[in-house]
């Protein structure tokens, strides 16, 4: 039977399961910054005893005004020894991160200071007043349990903490601020309406004309097709956006001495690869992680491709690996030296093959040595390599010419590859992707199968499975406890 629990009911069940043995929900505390020498350390306290802990540490000084930073001296509650002078902020429930009373202690960032305050809080625990150090992700778990966020927002917060680049931050913010939540809510509401239509057939079939039943069936079927299209597009966007988190694979390809390593060093703004005028300097693939205008990129510098008969055994292996890596990359940069534009058949054939499945940009390097018109050079090479003339970028690593234009061209390609030319990237975790595919979309398939068999009851069950699947994603259905461990396991303590 299809069962849906409200968020408040789910929250109450989860709390009862966890705390039924004591009847009291512990107040938790943790260091939310790294335990290392720094300017400040932030200790977070959440729960019913937050105010009590603050009173004990300040020797019953008046509580600061809610959400107003105040300076207080902190003392050991047993010995009354001065521990530190700290900035205190008190947040009364329910409008807090966790939905509970919450206190933040901004203490000086010395390791000894932080540890002394943590030990002082630990001494306040009693059997009737449970106070303990938080588990990993427990503050965010309580935020979910208390209805402050759904699971998609919680996962967005985790990704926001882990974001390394601007595009990763944008993707995480969209999830953390509830954009994905609104989308899933819309999908769920539309599914519920369609289940309602099918339920009407089940309940009133005897009193309904066959034509009307067929009309309802067709309406629901069209609606499900629309939802299926939207969800598959969302999955595709998520898969492409994942490139922005893992790093877009960019492969440098070209003949020996073309200046691939020089291009890499310019993009990296450092000497990431050895530059030499000796052919075959690069024998294996050198992967260098870069941040190019907010995009996480992994650039692979490969061995120069030339006639295998001219290369030694080790270089031959390097050429084979270069071609293999290019086939696996997301974007291929072919570097050609304008002072030597005799393109080897080995390279020409490989670029022609890559063109069929990959985005290819041709970098014309060493343009400071060029004596003829660059437009003529591009026109001739465009025909020879079957590459659009718009995909050519002239540069000079020696004179730093064209590097900014190359970066802008790369950003344009990154947006195209990640499907973010007109929309922001999104965060789609493995958990959400699996539920969409194995629960939601599978439920659509079940609906279509049993619709063809004219079994409206089982067709409806298929859509109910889809509704429950979306509920698993947001955390609003039975079975939520089994996914919490996956969601919160990678959180740091104090978050």
Phi, psi of 43 (to 5 degrees): -105, 130
Local confidence band at 164 (pLDDT 50, 70, 90 cut-offs): confident
Same domain, 253 and 390: yes
Same domain, 134 and 208: no
In DSSP terms, 90 is beta-bridged to 103
Same domain, 259 and 381: yes
State which of 418, 438, 455 marks the end of a domain: 418
Q: Confirm if 57 and 39 have CB atoms less than 8 A apart.
A: no
In a domain, 135, yes or no: yes
In a domain, 68, yes or no: yes
**What's the pLDDT tens digit per position in 136-155?**
889 999 998 898 888 888 88
User: What is the per-residue pLDDT for 155?
Assistant: 84
Phi, psi of 88 (to 5 degrees): -115, 135
Cβ–Cβ contacts within 10 Å for residue 355, how many?
A: 16
Mean pLDDT for the stretch of residues 210-215: 72
In DSSP terms, 45 is beta-bridged to 29, 103
End-to-end CA distance of the chain: 36
In a domain, 151, yes or no: no
User: Model-level pTM greater than 0.95?
Assistant: no
Output the CA–CA distances (angstroms, integers) from residue 483 to 47, 162, 493, in the order listed. 24, 20, 19
Same domain, 433 and 331: no
Which residue do the tokens 């899933």 mark? 184
Same domain, 406 and 267: yes
State which of 418, 438, 456 marks the end of a domain: 418
The count of structural domains within the chain is: 3
**What's the pLDDT tens digit per position in 216-231?**
888 999 999 999 999 9
User: What is the per-residue pLDDT for 12?
Assistant: 46
Same domain, 275 and 219: no
CATH number for 463: 1.20.120.430
Same domain, 85 and 208: no
User: What is the per-residue pLDDT for 304?
Assistant: 81
CATH number for 99: 3.30.1360.120
Same domain, 329 and 402: yes
Distance, in Å, from the CA atom of 411 to the CA atom of 391, rounded to the nearest integer, reads: 13
User: What is the per-residue pLDDT for 74?
Assistant: 96
Same domain, 297 and 441: no
In a domain, 108, yes or no: yes
Same domain, 52 and 188: no
Task: Assess whether pLDDT exceeds 50 at residue 16.
Answer: no
Mean pLDDT for the stretch of residues 64-76: 94
Same domain, 215 and 177: yes
In a domain, 161, yes or no: no
In a domain, 444, yes or no: yes
Same domain, 252 and 292: yes
CATH number for 354: 3.40.50.300
In a domain, 22, yes or no: no
In a domain, 164, yes or no: no
CA dihedral over 30, 71, 36, 115, signed as positive or negative: negative
Range of the domain at 469: 171-242+429-475
């Amino acid at each position: 039977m299809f069962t849906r629990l409200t968020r408040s009911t789910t929250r109450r069940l989860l709390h009862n399961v966890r705390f039924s043995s004591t009847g009291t929900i512990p107040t938790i505390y943790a260091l939310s910054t790294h335990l290392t020498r720094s300017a400040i350390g932030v200790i977070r306290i959440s729960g019913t005893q937050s105010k009590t802990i603050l009173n004990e540490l300040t020797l019953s000084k008046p509580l600061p005004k809610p959400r107003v930073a105040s300076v207080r001296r902190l003392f050991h509650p047993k010995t009354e020894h001065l521990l530190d002078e700290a900035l205190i902020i008190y947040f009364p429930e329910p409008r807090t991160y966790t939905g509970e009373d919450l206190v933040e202690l901004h203490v000086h960032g010395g390791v000894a200071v932080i540890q002394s305050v943590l030990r002082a809080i630990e001494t306040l625990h009693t059997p009737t007043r449970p106070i303990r150090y938080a588990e990993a992700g427990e503050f965010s778990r309580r935020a979910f349990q208390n209805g402050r966020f759904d699971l998609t927002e919680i996962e967005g917060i985790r990704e926001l903490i882990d974001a390394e680049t601007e595009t990763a931050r944008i993707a995480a913010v969209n999830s953390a601020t509830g954009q994905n939540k609104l989308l899933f809510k819309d999908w769920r509401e539309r599914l519920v309406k369609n289940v309602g239509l099918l339920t009407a057939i089940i309940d009133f079939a005897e009193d309904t004309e066959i034509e009307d039943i067929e009309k309802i069936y067709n309406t629901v079927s069209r609606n499900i097709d629309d939802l299926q299209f939207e969800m598959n597009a969302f999955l595709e966007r998520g898969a492409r956006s994942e490139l922005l988190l893992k790093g877009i694979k960019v492969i440098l390809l070209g003949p020996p001495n073309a200046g691939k390593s020089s291009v890499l060093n310019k993009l990296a703004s450092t000497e990431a690869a050895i530059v030499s005028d000796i052919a075959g300097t690069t024998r294996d693939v050198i992967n260098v992680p870069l941040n190019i205008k907010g995009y996480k990129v992994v650039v692979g510098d490969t061995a120069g491709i030339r006639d295998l008969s001219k290369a030694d055994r080790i270089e031959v292996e390097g050429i084979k690996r270069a071609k293999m890596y290019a086939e696996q990359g997301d974007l291929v940069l072919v570097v050609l030296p304008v002072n030597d534009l005799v393109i080897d058949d080995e390279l020409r054939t490989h670029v022609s093959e890559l063109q069929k499945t990959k985005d290819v940009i041709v970098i014309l390097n060493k343009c400071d040595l060029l004596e003829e018109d660059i437009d003529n050079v591009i026109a001739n090479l465009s025909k020879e390599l079957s590459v659009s003339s718009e995909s050519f970028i002239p540069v000079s690593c020696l004179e730093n010419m064209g590097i900014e234009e190359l970066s802008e061209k790369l950003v344009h390609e990154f947006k195209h590859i990640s499907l973010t030319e007109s929309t922001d990237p999104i965060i789609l975790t493995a958990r959400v992707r699996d539920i969409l595919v194995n629960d939601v979309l599978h439920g659509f398939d079940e609906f279509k199968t049993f619709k063809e068999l004219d079994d409206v009851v089982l067709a409806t069950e298929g859509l109910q499975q889809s509704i429950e699947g979306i509920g698993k994603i947001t955390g609003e259905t039975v079975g939520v406890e089994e996914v919490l461990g996956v969601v919160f396991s990678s959180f740091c303590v104090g978050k």
